[in-house]
A and B are shown apart, each in its own frame.
Chain A
């Protein structure tokens, strides 16, 4: 690309870190900034705000976004987010910083904004006071949970560092730097660990390819997406395909969640969102994945259903897999 006029004014606006200076033979930089690429003598730039080293030919710091040359030489110290109380969404890594005092939680126009259909508009409020954290539910439809325990409307539930906090179906973990962890006698049976530790598997699902998956008490989701407990490597399977619920009384329930290519029992397609009890002789299939169910413990060992492959003629057009 031809030379552009602005390059002359650009580098002297900030002091390049001496030892990091490099001469690059060719123009062009890795960042999308675009215009910086006209610089012929490329320099590694250390951001004066966040100290991140940046490659040559960038106009903005790749981390904090500072436009080089726009900050005064003397930079005031940074706010340190890592010391602020915050709610962390482990699935996305999103951090929701809590201000001291009252923080509203909800789906619309709140301080802690959770745009999710299971969260009410005004769902809850979180109060941060001298290193203490109080969670209150504001009469939400799908409830607020601290450490696995429901917070009743009007109740002021104390939350501690590392507690699992749930609004509707949004699972968050509280980080309260310098705050106390939940005391052992806090009177809450279920803690953050509950989400991960589901106890011993009560049954087993074996796919035709030989992989075994443990089934735990309660709901076990099955589908193509990685958010499922059992992930089907089957291009014909839907993202959220089906759910197997193991009840305390030993019954096992299979529900198709509106999958595109269907869940089949004895070759017959299940109606979506209609639970069906699995018995020992049940033969079932998710899209093109045949599976076997084995119940573990509690029940006689002969309670085992072998699933068979359905005939291929029933399959929908294979183009759907694209």
Chain B
């Protein structure tokens, strides 16, 4: 495989074994330019750059892809950064009974799992917002649970004010030394206060730029999946669809588990482009484009997780030779050591050849599959639209979904493949939750994230 791997300082010996020379493309020092090793201290994150083709056209400009892969190592056990978590709970009338009881139980589990170093706040919203518990260290667990158990159902759903109040609780503690997260749970459409998508999602995006990420939990069949998926995407957190009340504690547990094993936060990729190189798009992302730079913000990564960012570039014609088309810098805050602004670098290298047949032969299968996956996300979007507008029959949608499921399985996105499987089941059973599941799948594909 032709890829750039960044490994520790002792790994120089490994370079030789990775060498795979291409006739006519000499590399100085006898190492493969497409497999670069870099020195550095043991890093929480590793960067791997995979060109979509070993070759590019020297005689004309061409469109080529590359994967920028960030892996959170399984190593690095030990002390973690404390959490600064706010649970923002919908206590509108529709939550009355079982749902709210399960939520309270779930919140109780969260309290049990936290340390005295962690900070927790609990906010509820209906028409108005209540600070059930302001941001405090988790010392007296029994007292905190008592507060949580006093939550009563109210009337309408004012999500915006809930999100704002949750974020300001988290923001009341300096963010640097903590993993900061707001977890919002709702079962309905916003019915009071600020209701428009742009304002609510914009609030989460604004918080993210201050280092506070937002996870959105949608419960039941009446919430607005586009709003919650938007909250999670722009907020840099997760989106979960919770079909039944008894699943609420499990989702809280899984979210907390991820937070407690966080390896890196504030993760950014920066590409410094060579001459005659242009980034056309970064799939599923809104990158910041400069004249010769592209910046991409990635979600926080837990231990063992990895994330693949697919970049489409236009490479201009040039004299035949080997070129670094981009230098890639990865920067992040290490959640284990607490060190800020850690950096890892790599080179994205293509061989520019005059012989077109070389270009045809150099296609990388991994990158090719990732391009297919990006298409799968668009297909899902189309299937969902088709279902919503009823232009697509359940049978046709099922066929579409089965194709997508296969592609996901082949690309190692088992969890997402299972979700699509669930959606197929849902279609068969005629339940209306297909979109709620699929929008989360789309989000995951767009982010390119894989669990460890």
Chain A residues at the B interface, C-beta cutoff of 8 Å: 1, 4-7, 9-10, 13, 32-35, 49-50, 59-61, 63-72, 75-76, 78-79, 81, 89, 92-97, 108, 113, 115, 238-239, 257-258, 260, 271-273, 316-317, 319-320, 322
Contact = CB atoms under 8 A, between A and B. Distances in A.
9 contacts: A7-B29, A49-B318, A67-B33, A70-B27, A113-B280, A113-B312, A260-B206, A322-B174, A322-B211
B224 to A, nearest CB: 17
B187 interface: no
Contacts of B326: 65
For chain B, give the interface size range.
35 or more
Contacts of A81: 276, 316
B323 A319 contact: no
A78 B320 CA distance: 11
Interface in B281-298: 281-282, 286-287, 289-292
A131 B198 CA distance: 43
B213 to A, nearest CB: 15
Given A32-B329, A67-B324, A258-B202, 4 more contacts: A65-B277, A94-B291, A115-B280, A115-B282
A67 B319 contact: no
Contacts of A64: 274-276, 318, 323
Contacts of B317: 79
A34 B29 contact: no
A288 to B, nearest CB: 15
B385 interface: no
Nearest to A7: B29
Contact of B168 (A69, A79, A316): A316
Given A70-B26, A94-B278, A317 B199 contact: no
A49 B326 CA distance: 17
Contacts, number: 162
Nearest to A50: B275
A34 B349 CA distance: 14
A67 B202 contact: no
A75 B168 CA distance: 60
Contacts of A10: 28-29
B210 A9 contact: no
B171 A60 contact: no
Contacts of B199: 258, 272-273
Contacts of B196: 272-273
Contacts of B320: 71-72
A319 B324 contact: no
A89 B290 CA distance: 10
A217 to B, nearest CB: 25
Given A6-B30, A34-B36, A75-B319, A60 B291 contact: no
4 closest A-B pairs by beta carbon, nearest first, are A6-B29, A65-B274, A93-B291, A71-B321
Interface string B178-207: 000000000000000010101100110011
B319 A49 contact: yes
A317 B168 contact: yes
A93 B345 CA distance: 24
Contacts of B128: none
A76 B206 contact: no
A115 B31 CA distance: 37
A305 B93 CA distance: 44
A106 to B, nearest CB: 11
Contacts of A35: 29, 31, 36-37
Contacts of A33: 347
Interface of B: 12, 25-31, 33, 36-39, 61, 164, 167-169, 171-176, 194, 196, 198-199, 202-203, 206-207, 209-211, 274-278, 280-282, 286-287, 289-292, 312, 316-327, 329, 345, 347, 349, 351
A297 to B, nearest CB: 35
B322 A67 contact: yes
B318 A60 contact: no
Contacts of A273: 196, 198-199
Given A60-B347, A273-B199, A66 B321 contact: yes
A9 B29 contact: yes
A263 to B, nearest CB: 13
A319 B25 contact: no
B289 A5 contact: no
B318 A79 contact: yes
A10 B286 CA distance: 40
Nearest to A33: B347
B278 A70 contact: no
A220 to B, nearest CB: 19
A227 to B, nearest CB: 12
Contact of A322 (B37, B171, B312): B171
Contacts of B292: 93
Given A65-B323, A71-B320, A96-B278, A319 B174 contact: yes
Contacts of A71: 319-321
B24 to A, nearest CB: 10
A260 B347 contact: no
Contacts of A97: 61, 278, 316
Given A50-B275, A113-B281, A317-B171, A70 B319 contact: no
B233 to A, nearest CB: 13
B83 to A, nearest CB: 16
A15 to B, nearest CB: 14
Nearest to A2: B12
A185 B85 CA distance: 64
Contacts of B168: 316-317, 320
A322 B172 CA distance: 10
A72 B26 CA distance: 10
A67 B29 CA distance: 12
Contacts of A239: 206, 209
A60 B324 contact: yes
Contacts of B324: 60, 65, 67
Contacts of B347: 32-33, 60
Contacts of A79: 276, 316-318
Contacts of B322: 66-67, 70
Nearest to A93: B291
Contacts of A9: 28-30
Contacts of B28: 6, 9-10, 13, 59, 67-70
Contacts of B36: 34-35
A263 B154 CA distance: 29
A60 B319 CA distance: 15
Contacts of B287: 115
A10 B27 CA distance: 9
A32 B174 contact: no
A63 B275 CA distance: 6
A34 B274 CA distance: 17
